[in-house]
Amino acid sequence: MSISDGSDMRRTLVISPNWIGDAVMAQPLLRLLRERDPQRPIDVLAPTWVAPVWRAMRQVDTVIESPFKHGALQLRERWNFARNLRQRGYAEAYVLPNTLKFALIPWLAGIARRIGYRGEHRYGLINVMHVDDSALPRPMVWYYAALATAPNPGVAPPSALPRPMLQVTVEQKAEAVFGAGLQPALPLIAFAPGAEFGSAKRWPTSHFAQLAQTIRHSYADAQIVLLGSAKDHSVCAEIVALAPMTRNLAGVTSLDQAIALIAQADAVVSNDSGLLHIASALNRPIVALYGPTDPDHAPPFSDVAKSLSLHLDCAPCRQRECPLGHHHCLQNITADMVWQPLMPMLAARAHRINRS
């Protein structure tokens, strides 16, 4: 679709974060915008690797894939792109990344209201300015949802917020399951062993392998798939080497397919990663593993979810690599500690099957 296709109806533009998990956690903002103005179309400008997440949100009218290289200013390209955006008739733009280069686009496009956080040198580019306290940062869902209202320093309680929600059709789930050579009638457990942020957020591969063996001991027909990007393939290969009953689909499935497989999963075990938040938005049973990050800052919102964190004195350090070199915050979370909350999740699935 050409972005120069015009429309008489005033539209809203949302400029996506670069991270999958952040995009998921921004979905309540779109729900609030749609509740405020049900007739106004919402477009999202997103990197190609994040676009599938936005396509799974029913509030989104059009996803426009960003042509820009990650990290590059590309001022001339942004000016030309903004000139085309101007023809779509936007009344307002929500700039979710905090960088200067993304704030340039709606300003160059002549969009009247440009809403976002203070970020880097954005005065004038953002004219409805929100401020987050770096000493006491807002949880991510509220961080984005707060942009739907006038700037204020408060933080709503979690119960006051709509939780992130993605939509996957029955046909999409079936296509992903059969495409991966899986059996829809058998238990499906998804592991997400990767983490784009850095190795400090990864639960050890040996622990994932031990958990897989424990699952298969209790559920001999369980299908255990390892999901992630191509960057996670080698990490997942380590798990397969220790637990050959697992299947490495990292980098094999597209993000659209991974979303559909997670939607079909009976349970998900994940590091603090984008796939964790996808599983949360699909309301799958989740065991979430937190080491150097704060489980209260970006928790899962599923009806059935368990966040595991040892709350060590050195955590959350929020570092890509363990500054102390021991990785105790995740190394000391054992496979049995994960199996304890996972066990009733799988038992509930078996109970449902038996009753039907």
Q: Which two tokens stand for residue 237?
A: 């290969």
Q: Which two tokens stand for residue 99?
A: 């960088």
- Residue 300 CA, chain-centre distance (Å), reads 10
DSSP code of 65? E
- What pLDDT score was predicted for residue 38? 94
- Which residues, in sequence order, are CB contacts of 340 under 8 Å at separation 6+? none
Q: In this predicted model, which residue has the larger pLDDT, 350 or 338?
A: 338
16, 44 in Cβ contact below 8 A? yes
Task: Give the tokens for residue 26.
Answer: 């921004």
**305-308 and 246-248 beta bridge pairing:** unpaired
Q: In what order do the strands lie in the sheet with 223-226?
A: 246-248, 223-226, 188-192, 267-271, 286-289, 305-308
* 68 touches 105 (CB < 8 A): no
CATH of 170-355, one of 3.40.50.10860, 3.40.640.10, 3.40.50.2000, 3.30.70.1230: 3.40.50.2000
Tens digit of each residue's pLDDT (9 = 90 or more) over 159-168 = 777 799 999 9
Local confidence band at 74 (pLDDT 50, 70, 90 cut-offs) = confident
- Report the distance separating Cα 115 and Cα 262, nearest Å: 33
> For the chain, which residues make up each domain, given as ranges?
11-155, 170-355
Express each pLDDT in 267-297 by its tens digit.
999 999 999 999 999 999 999 999 988 888 8
Q: Same CATH fold, 170-355 and 11-155?
A: yes
Structure confidence by residue, pLDDT tens digits, 206-247: 999 999 999 999 999 999 999 999 999 999 999 999 999 999
Closest CA to 258 of 24, 70, 15, 27: 24
* pLDDT higher than threshold 60 for residue 4: no
CATH topology of domain 11-155: Rossmann fold (3.40.50)
Q: 12-21, 66-75, 225-234, 315-324: which has the minimum mean pLDDT?
A: 66-75
Q: In what order do the strands lie in the sheet with 113-117?
A: 62-65, 42-46, 11-15, 90-95, 113-117, 128-130
Average per-residue pLDDT in the chain?
91
Confidence bin at 351 (pLDDT 50/70/90): low
| Phi, psi values for residue 250, rounded to 5° | -65, 120
The residue assigned the tokens 């960088």 is 99
Q: Is the pLDDT of residue 6 over 50?
A: no
- Cβ(246)–Cβ(239) under 8 Å? yes
Q: Is the pLDDT assigned to residue 72 strictly greater than 80?
A: no
Residue range 136-173, pLDDT digits in tens = 888 899 999 999 999 988 877 767 777 999 999 999 99
Residue 194: Cβ-neighbour burial (10 angstroms; 0-12, 13-18, 19+): buried
Please give the pLDDT value at position 97: 94
Is residue 198 helix, strand or coil? coil
Average pLDDT over residues 58-73: 86
pLDDT bracket for residue 2 (50, 70, 90): very low
Yes or no: say if 90 and 64 are a contact pair by the CB < 8 Å rule. Answer: no
Q: Is 313 exposed, middle or buried (0-12, 13-18, 19+ CB in 10 A)?
A: exposed
Nearest to 216 by CA among 346, 356, 348, 355: 346
pLDDT of residue 195: 79
The reported pTM is 0.91
323: DSSP letter: T
- Are 262 and 282 a contacting pair, CB within 8 Å? yes
Measured CA to CA, the distance from residue 151 to residue 93 in angstroms comes to 15
